[in-house]
Amino acid sequence: MQQRKLNTMTSNLVLLFFLFLMRSISAEFEGVTGCGGFVKASPQLSKIMKDKTLDYSVITVKVVTSEGTVKSSTECAPTGYYFVPVYDKGNFFLQVQGPPGWAFEPSKVPIQIGEDNQCKSAGHQQEGGDIDFLFTGFTISGKVAGEKCEGVSGSKGPEGVTVTLFIKQDGKLTETKTTTSDSQGVYKFNNNAPGKYSLKATHSSWSLSKDSADIEVVWDNVQVKDPFLVTGYDVSGTIKSEDEKISGVDFLLYSKTVKSVDCPKVTIETPKDLGTALCSAKSDSEGKFVFKNIPCGEYTVVPYYRGLNTTFDVEPNSVQVSVSTGSVTLKESFQVLGFSVLGKVVDRNGKGLSDVKIHLNSKHKTTTDQQGVYKLDQFEVEHFKSKHLKNIISFPH
């Protein structure tokens, strides 16, 4: 017990001597102007620290110009005291920097060195001329990843996934901060006090298989171990006729490598040379179609419109798509160039009439077959607005 008291007294004497020495040194250099003060734990962190001692010597204070050029710098004393010399007069910034991920309030303050060789900072100076900084917390960071997909290149991580941070306290979750993943899939939350937290990842149109995590900040930065995993993206495009938007056109998504996708299934017979027909989508009133929950892979998008009596001629007839770690929007719209019309000529009893010549704009186009059926191929679309061609030709009963 006596040895412990002796050690404590010795430590206190060394600390007092060190502070006195630092103050004395800063006062003795009459020709050197400098800025001094303390880096301290914030009141919130101080409550959490209790008996924990923080070594402030890992923190540096710098004098920098508005362009970021470092004029001088110093390391803090273990107690948090610093004194950094300034050799030029003018306006500068006093900036504090700790280990990566540590947060300070403020992180830098404007200072002015005038003709009186005094270091002044409006609104930040304490009694006695000190400029103090508060150490406020640590960084929580992690990554959003996409499923590995061989043979498909793309960005290093899904960008734009929303990640929300919740504080866990007394069995309740309280939302505190929200951020989004960057082009590398990385997300960060700065300035977090020790405690228990929960993370939730979401996206407006993508599918995630792992989207939550529970963590605890003890007394250091936290790197979330497991990434949030995006399993499906959206593929979209448009279809037009000249400047008109076309609705009701079906699109099919094929793949030779992907065998199953969680999306509306194809219910019609399709060609097999393009691979497996995985999904179907229909263009809306704006001419837009969307395939959702599409995993990374190589695909072919094919337009398909075959009504009871009408078949569209669409160009291009297919588009290759590569899905990696993000949404895919087809750059060029599909264009309806024309369509084929299937009809029938009947007598008053409903019996088909064969060998009837069909004229369009006074020009012979086709002739009915034995059942009275005719087909107008590649009917050109000009100012096309309706979904079906009506009243092309009629016969009285």
Residue 217 in domain: yes
In the listed set 174, 201, 226, which residue is the last one of a domain according to the structure?
226
User: Of 335, 353, 375, which one is at a domain's C-terminal end?
Assistant: 335
- CATH number at 185 reads 2.60.40.10
Is residue 287, in this structure, part of any structural domain at all? yes
CB 27 within 8 A of CB 107: no
The boundaries of the domain holding residue 203 are 138-226
149 is a domain residue: yes
In a domain, 79, yes or no: yes
Question: Is there a contact between 154 and 178 (Cβ–Cβ < 8 Å)?
Answer: no
**Residues 237 and 326 occupy one common structural domain:** yes
> Distance between CA 336 and CA 303 in Å, rounded?
10
* pTM given for the model: 0.69
- The domain tally of the chain equals 3
Asked if the structure places residue 314 within a domain, the reply is: yes
For 60-111, the pLDDT digits (tens) are 999 999 999 999 999 999 999 999 999 899 999 999 999 999 999 999 999 9
From 186, 211, 226, give the residue that closes a domain: 226
Same-domain check for residues 127 and 144: no
Determine the Cα angle at 368 with ends 362 and 369, to 5°. Answer: 160
* pLDDT tens, residue order, the chain (397 aa): 444 444 444 444 444 444 444 444 444 345 568 999 999 999 888 888 776 778 899 999 999 999 999 999 999 999 999 999 998 999 999 999 999 999 999 999 999 998 888 899 988 888 778 999 999 999 999 999 987 765 555 556 899 999 999 999 888 899 889 999 999 999 999 999 989 999 999 999 999 988 999 999 988 899 999 999 999 999 999 999 888 888 888 899 999 888 888 888 887 767 677 888 899 999 999 999 999 999 989 999 999 866 556 666 788 989 999 998 889 999 999 998 876 666 777 878 878 878 878 776 677 778 888 887 766 665 444 443 333 333 333 222 2
Q: What are phi and psi of 88, to 5 degrees?
A: -120, 155
What residue has token string 């309806």?
336
